[in-house]
Structure 1
């Protein structure tokens, strides 16, 4: 961020009037590119409708000021309000879509709006458009030329400052987690559809602000600047510069704003004919950038800048220890769980109970239904039958983000971590459901005290598992054993009382397994309750207080480790012995 001002240097060498126009267009393009930073760079959603949000806002202020004679500042409120409603309409219908369906849906909305604006001649003026919009006035003075460029840049830098608060916040971490793994994000309290919708709304409002400024800068509105081609251009800007960072999208906006007019003048001279050849040139430029700098130009340039590491938090952490309760009381009960996938009955009427402070192991041969049972208990998949009770409250079929705040957390068979985040930030993801700062608080910078407490909580959790020395390292530098410990630290930071561990010993060396067993026994003594699935019988039998054995979706035995080892049904499942 501190190097962002360098992006304005190329404009200093341009003729003054041209410079002002180009500088204003840069500010407007950068705003739209920043809207894509929120949507694509953080939330991982691709949209081809940003120009449509601009158009909605531009037409709203044009109609209000021309037809009703209202102030342009009322037009700003109307434009932002309609952009928000339009984003709500599109987002409510599309953010749940996955893969290529989301960008295809936004293309459909973008094209529909463009056609509508071109054909409602009586309202929008059709392709001829609406002219003679009133100029913006501030403190009684018209905003024109240099004043308009300065005003646009001022709003851009306010926007940069606000969005700069987003990435290092609970919401920024959650959006990055959603982009990487929605199920993992839901497991520590993130509502995927709701958070994606909020990101979509914020993105739409930012693009709407650019549309308002565009309308009163040119004082003319028609459908052409808000076409699908324009949306593609903004997306190319953001991706080429580096959509994952604010300096990246600014770099992309500056580069392509300057290139556009230059290519329009140069290409006809080279080719000897008029045409929209700059679009083809954009394609070649983007292809070259993605080939040599796949994460954008800023990521390529950033390597030459001195690396910066964050500081360790010093605030008072949230309480780490779970609330006290009566040791041995029932905290989780599963009754007759059933789940079928087509003709395969994966879980067939499984029942068991979990008591406070104990370690219960769920074991069985491959394909026994253990992981499916895990997913049914945590809400990752809905059951076909049976019930689940958590602290006496039925949670059957609730999604993970509603079950987790009640005190249940889980890890995964393969560690679900996020490599672009530090070890500390990965652990801090667990505090999402324990913190409350929303988008408005974050954008205004009113979240920092809570954020420091969340990071302190995460650091204390890392100390509990022995990873505090790696807190500021990237998570992708950890060994397999350290990744398992980091997942457990994330659970501890979440304040969960019941920890469901899916194959915590997988991929660990003998020494790491001993350390893991020591840690888990210590957590049980502190009052945590553990349910684990693992194939390592030495680890399970030396760790668990009780064992539930499954085979072909059914529970075939339950008891202490010694009892189940002697059970003939268990020996038959594992060793192939015949049952007498």
Structure 2
């Protein structure tokens, strides 16, 4: 059953519930709380499921907004509607500060950091007299619409799910935008994302703040529907429960977040009624059931239940639309213009010298191949040139500009694009979306424009460019397929199309022919010759000597991190030192 049909049926049910005869008020209230949780979990879909940032601290932002609106309305005299933007801004500011500190952590330290923040927040609430300590605050005014107060029941249900619908629409728009693709690119690896211009630190903050804003909206609604608050719903247990909802439903899909929130909310309520009868004692036995369920889910359905229901692994990519305004192109360099100058490059890892005083140049309209046995230091040299690895010594200049020490995203901005020895595509995205990531720097729309759908013209231009580059490399037929489902050779060609989307003057290809069949290698060679004629400078690493000898203008041979020789292919082929390095002295 298509996702849109499921969503439509669910929305129809929610709208119909308040007016259906005989529906107990209890179930209306329960589904209201499920909707409040679903708003928070939708943010977690972006933060955890898409960006890969695990947070146990979302309950803190729910509580921050709830207490802010409580103070503003009960002591500041503001109406609930006027307190909403203040509560959202306060939560966004707090999330920016917390994120700037916490997102520097990696591995298990990051989720532990979010736990620490939430526990600290809980104890601040419980020990502050102005906030009512553990008794909390009461007497909050209800939300009013056209002078009519929303006091609960079906009205609260419709209000909550109406806001949830808006959040789902904004999130859907955000994830399909330029910023959304950058967030999704984090799953493909920070190194790859930085190499085509994504400021990954900023993108992580955007995802963190967006998730906090949705949590804050839920807190504002909770405070004025409940009309009394205390620290208990904002403790670490609630943060864990939100994450449980995301995992069980399916953190990788928006629908999965809503499904998980409803399922866990209803199941928790029913288990609280049934389990004490089974065990003959009172207690939070539902925590045991959820723990077992979580372990089973991680083993049997790590992507959650939602993908099992809708049976879709990749969101439908944008269809080809009408002709778009072409993207501004970078001026082509004149033939012979020096694009890359690498001087005395050196990289050490402790006592190991991986690259030892390597130097070479690449000019516009020239193909230079970096060759050598396995372990010679070729890929490390690539990383030094593109800013992925930091130089121990030496200098790199791009088009006459010193770029030594600049990060990869800054070097990409100067017109240097690359591929990787080990393919780094975002497997859960379509081919066309992966290629469009390469044009990230050629767009300017931010998260607000993306979420509000104000970036249509720019998106059309970005995808038109991606379509053009896919046609250029001969993979238009794979446009809408999941990138992770392609053969390795095709994935390498997709990486080249993504690099070309940057509009580079200098193109660095790390083993582009690996995994390609004979005819595919011929087509790749023809493409690289056309790019050379268009004025691009190309530096490539390759082990296929037949491919290299028929393509490169110059070869730079490396062995044990040092330059063995440099020259035209015919000259290098006859060099005794090269023959010994590749074949051994006995040969």
Q: TM-score band (shorter)?
A: over 0.9
The 2-side partners of 1:457 and 1:477 are apart by 23
Q: Secondary structure at the match of 1:348?
A: strand
Correspondence for 2:190 among 174, 177, 182: 182
Correspondence for 2:427 among 419, 428, 442: 419
How far did residue 332 of structure 1 move?
0.9
Which residue is 1:135 aligned to?
142
Query: 1:430·1:493 contact (CA, 8 Å) conserved in 2?
Result: yes
Correspondence for 2:102 among 94, 105, 122: 94
The 2-side partners of 1:319 and 1:130 are apart by 55
Query: 1:165·1:443 contact (CA, 8 Å) conserved in 2?
Result: yes
The 2-side partners of 1:496 and 1:283 are apart by 51
Query: 1:4·1:250 contact (CA, 8 Å) conserved in 2?
Result: no
Deviates more, 1:228-237 or 1:10-19: 10-19
Alignment of 1:46-195 (within 5 A): 46-120=54-128, 122-145=129-152, 146-195=154-203
Query: 2:346·2:394 contact (CA, 8 Å) conserved in 1?
Result: yes
Distance 1:80 1:36, change over 3 A: same
Deviation sequence 1:274-306 (CA, Å, 0-9, x none): 111122222233334444432111100113999
Which residue is 1:441 aligned to?
449
The 1-side partners of 2:541 and 2:315 are apart by 41
Alignment of 1:308-457 (within 5 A): 311-316=319-324, 318-319=326-327, 323-457=331-465
Query: 1:321·1:495 contact (CA, 8 Å) conserved in 2?
Result: yes
Alignment of 1:486-505 (within 5 A): 486-505=494-513
Q: Secondary structure at the match of 1:446?
A: coil
Q: Secondary structure at the match of 1:80?
A: helix
Deviates more, 1:278-287 or 1:556-565: 278-287
Deviation sequence 1:211-262 (CA, Å, 0-9, x none): 1111111111111000111011111111111111111111111111212221
Q: Secondary structure at the match of 1:543?
A: coil
The 1-side partners of 2:295 and 2:585 are apart by 62
Which residue is 1:4 aligned to?
7
The 2-side partners of 1:575 and 1:446 are apart by 60
The 1-side partners of 2:141 and 2:188 are apart by 46
Q: Secondary structure at the match of 2:135?
A: coil
Structure 1 residue 294 corresponds to structure 2 residue 297: no
Structure 1 residue 249 corresponds to structure 2 residue 253: no
Query: 2:341·2:397 contact (CA, 8 Å) conserved in 1?
Result: yes
Deviation sequence 1:152-207 (CA, Å, 0-9, x none): 22211111111111222222222121122111111111111110011101111110
Query: 2:91·2:212 contact (CA, 8 Å) conserved in 1?
Result: yes
How far did residue 52 of structure 1 move?
0.5
Query: 2:314·2:429 contact (CA, 8 Å) conserved in 1?
Result: no
Q: Secondary structure at the match of 2:287?
A: helix
Distance 1:573 1:245, change over 3 A: same
The 2-side partners of 1:308 and 1:537 are apart by 40
Structure 1 residue 216 corresponds to structure 2 residue 224: yes
How far did residue 551 of structure 1 move?
1.8
Alignment of 1:512-527 (within 5 A): 512-527=520-535
How far did residue 72 of structure 1 move?
2.3
The 1-side partners of 2:465 and 2:277 are apart by 63
Q: Secondary structure at the match of 2:564?
A: strand
Q: TM-score, normalised by structure 1?
A: 0.95
Query: 2:315·2:429 contact (CA, 8 Å) conserved in 1?
Result: no
Alignment of 1:565-580 (within 5 A): 565-577=573-585
Deviation sequence 1:311-353 (CA, Å, 0-9, x none): 2343326359752331011111111111100101111221111
Query: 1:497·1:528 contact (CA, 8 Å) conserved in 2?
Result: yes
Q: CA RMSD in A?
A: 2.1
Unaligned runs of 5+ in 1: none
Q: Secondary structure at the match of 1:500?
A: strand
Which residue is 2:292 aligned to?
284
How far did residue 573 of structure 1 move?
2.5
Distance 1:48 1:307, change over 3 A: closer
Deviates more, 1:308-317 or 1:375-384: 308-317
Q: Secondary structure at the match of 1:506?
A: coil
The 1-side partners of 2:161 and 2:530 are apart by 56
The 1-side partners of 2:325 and 2:563 are apart by 42
Structure 1 residue 511 corresponds to structure 2 residue 483: no
Q: TM-score, normalised by structure 2?
A: 0.94
